[in-house]
């Protein structure tokens, strides 16, 4: 089964828990059927389902491998965690157990969170070990935020360490989140330690992940208080200090809760693209959606960059670009000029090289446009602001006044990527745009990604534009899958 942005037929993809084994990615994920008692009760009784893939595209769906518990169990819902191979030749799964309905697992009306444990010999059939379930050490941590355990072997300390999305006792609500730490020598008995990372900057650090690439260590976590995004930190040693690069993210709002795994020599970051309520561009973002993956590469200075996987590129084998699409120069120093192309496919890959001239205010590619290039989606490059943004028109449902058009929102909120135009050679950007259904994902120079939802699929025009400047577009290609 080939997938660009995978979604199960009977649900949505929540947090991913990737694990590499025998050259394959075993992508466990939280399977949400959205059967909560209210429309805001996402993640209601999520099971762990499993996808197996070598390239992120050709996927085997193994369905449920960790079912939820019953009303009397702590794991009435099974949330995020990790998988590790132990010294006993068994695979150990650590996951978050939470029961929102049984008061036995509540305190002061709030559900407690626990770390639960399961074992397997084949990564598909799992045996729960409920007697090993444990909560937070309340001499250090709060019991309500004790989730997303990530377990790894710490070679320096010769032990197993567990990172958690946690909060310190008595800390502020806004900045009290930390990456908690537990330690074990047998994967059975765990002792709480002082936080692994405590920047006093976020409400929580969800889905922590840790890996080494080259001579650098990287700590990954996701936040929703400052903004919805996955961050990374860098260090020369596993003990830190952990520093934030100027650009410390892999994507924007529509790429959340990323966790990574490396199979062979390829490290991938797997996340989810949130749906929008009502399947509408104007709806609020929801929890869960479609699977998405970026390949992670390391730059010379140690910073991380992302690119599309070879597997994703390779499924677009059939070129459908019209023969009359040639290199084009677009110029207007007094406003906007567009180059319109007819025949955009609902599922496609678009490639192009855009060279911009010094002083150009903005330029980019328009997708799913009407023939006047007035309504549709825009991926816009803005050199003056050192950013790439996603935009659409109309930006909102029309209001009673002409100026009710959200003109005070110059692009889609949180769909913005910093971009260093001065570092470019010859003022050129090479773009790859992957489109399937309601998802558009842009890659620039195999370094930066920007993903968005785009629910209007009926418009069939696309093309390029410039505002107050000049661009030259060449190597224009569109491909579809066979």
Q: Whole-prediction pTM value?
A: 0.96
Fold of the 318-480 domain? Jelly Rolls (2.60.120)
% of the chain surpassing 70 pLDDT: 99
Q: Locate CATH 2.115.10.20 in the chain.
A: 12-314
Tell me: pLDDT of 321 over 80: no
Helix/strand/coil (H/E/C) assignment for every residue in 282-301: CCCEEEEEEEEEEEEEECCC
Per this entry, what is the length of the chain?
A: 482
Q: Classify each residue of 202-222 as buried b or exposed e, where b means 16 or more C-beta atoms within 10 Å of its C-beta.
A: bbbbbbbbbbebeebbbbbbb
The mean pLDDT of 112-132, rounded to a whole number, is 98
The string of pLDDT tens digits covering residues 127-171 is 999 999 999 999 999 999 999 999 999 999 999 999 999 999 999
pLDDT of residue 412: 76
Omega prior to 456 cis, within 30 of 0: no
Tell me: pLDDT of 408 over 70: no
The mean pLDDT of 348-359, rounded to a whole number, is 96
Any idea which of 10-14, 194-198, 315-319 has the lowest mean pLDDT?
315-319
Tell me: pLDDT of 1 over 60: no
Any idea which of 191-205, 299-313, 324-338, 349-363 has the lowest mean pLDDT?
324-338
Tell me: pLDDT of 3 over 80: no
pLDDT of residue 324: 66
Tell me: pLDDT of 319 over 80: yes
Token pair listed for 407:
């003109």
Tell me: pLDDT of 425 over 90: no
The mean pLDDT of 436-455, rounded to a whole number, is 97
Q: Locate CATH 2.60.120.560 in the chain.
A: 318-480
Report residue 132: phi and psi, to 5°. Answer: -100, 5
pLDDT of residue 411: 72
Domain 12-314: state its class. Answer: mainly beta
| pLDDT band at residue 94 using 50, 70 and 90 as cut-offs | very high
| pLDDT band at residue 396 using 50, 70 and 90 as cut-offs | confident
Any idea which of 258-272, 278-292, 398-412 has the lowest mean pLDDT?
398-412
Torsional sign, CA 33, 35, 40, 41: negative
pLDDT of residue 322: 63
């Amino acid at each position: 089964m080939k997938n660009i942005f995978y979604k199960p037929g009977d649900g949505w993809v929540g947090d991913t828990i990737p694990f590499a084994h025998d050259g394959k990615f075993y992508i466990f994920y939280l399977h949400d059927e959205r059967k909560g008692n209210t429309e805001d009760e996402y993640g209601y009784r999520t099971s762990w389902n499993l996808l197996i893939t070598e390239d992120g595209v050709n996927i085997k769906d193994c369905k449920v491998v960790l079912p939820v518990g019953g009303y009397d169990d702590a794991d009435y819902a099974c949330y995020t965690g990790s998988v590790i191979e132990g010294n006993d030749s068994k695979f150990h799964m650590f996951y978050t157990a939470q029961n929102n309905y049984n008061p036995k697992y509540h305190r002061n009306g709030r559900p407690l969170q626990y770390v639960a444990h399961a074992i397997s010999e084949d990564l598909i059939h799992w045996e729960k070990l409920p007697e090993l379930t444990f909560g937070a050490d309340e001499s250090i941590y709060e019991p309500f935020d004790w989730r997303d355990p990530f377990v790894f072997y710490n070679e320096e300390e010769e032990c197993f360490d567990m990172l958690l999305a946690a909060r310190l006792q008595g800390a502020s609500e806004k900045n009290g989140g930390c990456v908690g730490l537990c330690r074990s020598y047998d994967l059975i008995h765990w002792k709480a330690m002082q936080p692994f990372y405590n920047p006093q900057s976020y409400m929580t650090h969800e889905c922590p992940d840790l890996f080494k690439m080259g001579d650098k260590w990287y700590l990954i976590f996701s936040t929703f208080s400052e903004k919805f995004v996955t961050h990374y930190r860098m260090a020369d040693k596993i003990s830190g200090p952990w520093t934030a690069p100027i650009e410390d993210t892999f994507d924007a709002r529509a790429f959340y809760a990323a966790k990574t795994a490396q199979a062979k020599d390829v490290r991938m970051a797997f996340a989810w693209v949130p749906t929008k309520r009502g399947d509408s561009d104007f709806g609020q973002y929801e929890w869960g959606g479609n699977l998405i993956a970026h390949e992670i590469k390391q730059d010379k200075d140690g910073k991380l960059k992302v690119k599309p996987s070879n597997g994703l590129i390779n499924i677009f084998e059939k070129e459908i670009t019209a023969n009359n699409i040639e290199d084009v120069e677009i110029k207007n120093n007094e406003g906007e000029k567009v180059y319109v192309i007819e025949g955009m496919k609902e599922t496609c890959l678009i490639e192009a090289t855009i060279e911009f001239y010094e002083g150009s205010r903005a330029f980019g590619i328009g997708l799913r446009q009407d023939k006047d290039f007035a309504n549709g989606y825009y991926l816009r490059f803005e050199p003056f602001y050192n950013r790439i943004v996603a935009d659409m028109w109309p930006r909102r449902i029309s209001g009673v006044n002409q100026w009710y058009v959200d003109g005070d929102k110059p692009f889609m909120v949180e769909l913005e990527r910093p971009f260093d135009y001065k570092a470019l050679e010859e003022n050129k950007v090479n773009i790859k745009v992957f489109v399937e259904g309601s998802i558009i994902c842009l890659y620039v120079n195999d370094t930066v990604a920007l993903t968005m939802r785009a629910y209007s699929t009926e418009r069939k025009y696309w093309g390029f534009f410039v505002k107050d400047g000049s661009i030259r577009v060449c190597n224009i290609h569109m491909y579809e899958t066979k």
